[in-house]
Amino acid sequence: MAIDIEISEVGPRDGLQSIRSIMPTEAKKAWIKAQHEAGTPEIEVGSFVPPQLLPQLADTAEVVRYATTLPGLRVAALVPNRRGLEGAIAAGAQKVSIPFSMSETHSVRNVKKTHAQMREEIVRCLELLAETPAERRPAFEVGLATAFGCTIEGPIPEDRVIRMAADLVDLGVAEVGLSDTTGVGNPRQLERLARGIWSACGRERLTGVHLHNTRGQGLANALKAVELGFTTIDSSLGGIGGCPAAPGASGNIVTEDLVFLLEAMGLRTGIDLEALFAVRELVQAALPDEELYGFAAAAGLPLGFTGAAA
């Protein structure tokens, strides 16, 4: 079945990194398997960071290796530096994202690097990718974190985001992603940033967006992204997640609510909502002390709802 909008599930990484509970490895595998079977085409299954920093993700290499055995699933992971990229390649990740915060203060707090140092790290990553055989080389994306604003610095100049995106493309980065790390963005801001980056870099360099629902704007921004022509939207099952390095930055878009919105509009995601609700129950059972968010699962599907595929 053709897909109109691709959902990239980030719960096993962005969600789990932001909660106190440590999900057992076997429970993570069950989550990923169930969500893959529900039709999710891409899942970000973890992050290659030192386990002492994020013990919730200490088993990422094992989880990546397992996820790559699921047919048709694109297995994504986040890395903070070249060393993390080496681990992701060794484990077999098919897509890798590295965060480059547009707020230098957040960058130092999140990855302990200034803008200049982070730029050098991305160059080192590109060099490693060039040395990696094509059959083992993952797709590589630089996430423009805090592009919409920072809880530490405040507003981020939009021309800075556009200029830095263009510089990354000049370095050889194939794709950048817009990330509302702190959940402060609005649809008009999203449109200005997207059009600015497309004008400077080309539309093929920016196709995905990572939005948070911290202030209740997540679905509004997602709808604007669809109208603008974005083809990939990140979301998290149950809306868990956030950024530990940005105070008050909580809440991803709820995958269940996003899929319901898109399918109700006639846009095909390839995801079975009833199966997705069952995945939610599986995750809640594995995280009994954590709150899951969202409305679609609680209310259930409307009478006669068939989804876009039908």
- What pLDDT score does 232 carry? 98
**Residue 207 and residue 233: Cα distance in Å, rounded?**
9
Assess whether pLDDT exceeds 50 at residue 141. Answer: yes
pLDDT band at 309 (very low <50, low <70, confident <90, very high): low
Instruction: List pLDDT tens digits, range 174-209.
Output: 999 999 999 999 999 999 999 999 999 999 999 999
Domain that holds residue 120: 6-299
- Please check whether residue 60 is in contact with residue 25, taking contact to mean a CB–CB distance below 8 angstroms: no
How confident is the model over 248-267, as a mean pLDDT?
88
Instruction: List pLDDT tens digits, range 64-116.
Output: 999 999 999 999 999 999 999 999 999 999 999 999 999 999 999 989 999 99
Is residue 304, in this structure, part of any structural domain at all?
no
Assess whether pLDDT exceeds 80 at residue 310. Answer: no
Is residue 219, in this structure, part of any structural domain at all?
yes
CA angle (273, 16, 262) in 5-degree steps: 25
- Please check whether residue 81 is in contact with residue 96, taking contact to mean a CB–CB distance below 8 angstroms: no
- Please check whether residue 8 is in contact with residue 76, taking contact to mean a CB–CB distance below 8 angstroms: yes
- What pLDDT score does 241 carry? 78
What integer best gives the mean pLDDT of the chain? Answer: 95
SS (H, E, C) the chain: CCCCCEEEECHHHHHHHHCCCCCCHHHHHHHHHHHHHCCCCEEEEEECCCCCCCHHHCCHHHHHHHHCCCCCCEEEEECCCHHHHHHHHHHCCCEEEEEEECCHHHHHHHHCCCHHHHHHHHHHHHHHHHHCCHHHCCEEEEEEECCCCECCCECCCHHHHHHHHHHHHHHCCCEEEEECCCCCCCHHHHHHHHHHHHHHHCHHHEEEEECECCCCCHHHHHHHHHHHCCCEEEEEHHHCCECCCCCCCECECEHHHHHHHHHHCCCCCCCCHHHHHHHHHHHHHHCCCCCCCCCHHHHCCCCCCCCCCC
**Residue 66 and residue 162: Cα distance in Å, rounded?**
37
Is residue 239, in this structure, part of any structural domain at all?
yes
Is residue 191, in this structure, part of any structural domain at all?
yes
Number of domains in the chain: 1
Is residue 139, in this structure, part of any structural domain at all?
yes
**Residue 169 and residue 176: Cα distance in Å, rounded?**
8
Could you tell me the pTM of the whole model? 0.96
Is residue 305, in this structure, part of any structural domain at all?
no
**Residue 262 and residue 217: Cα distance in Å, rounded?**
16
Active site residue 243: yes
- What pLDDT score does 244 carry? 56
Is residue 308, in this structure, part of any structural domain at all?
no
Q: How far is CA 182 from CA 15, 125, 194, 235, 293, in A?
A: 14, 26, 18, 14, 17
Q: Residue holding tokens 């990354």?
A: 168
Is residue 252, in this structure, part of any structural domain at all?
yes
User: What CATH number is associated with residue 153?
Assistant: 3.20.20.70
Assess whether pLDDT exceeds 70 at residue 242. Answer: no
Q: Which of 125, 150, 201, 243 is catalytic?
A: 243
Assess whether pLDDT exceeds 90 at residue 236. Answer: yes
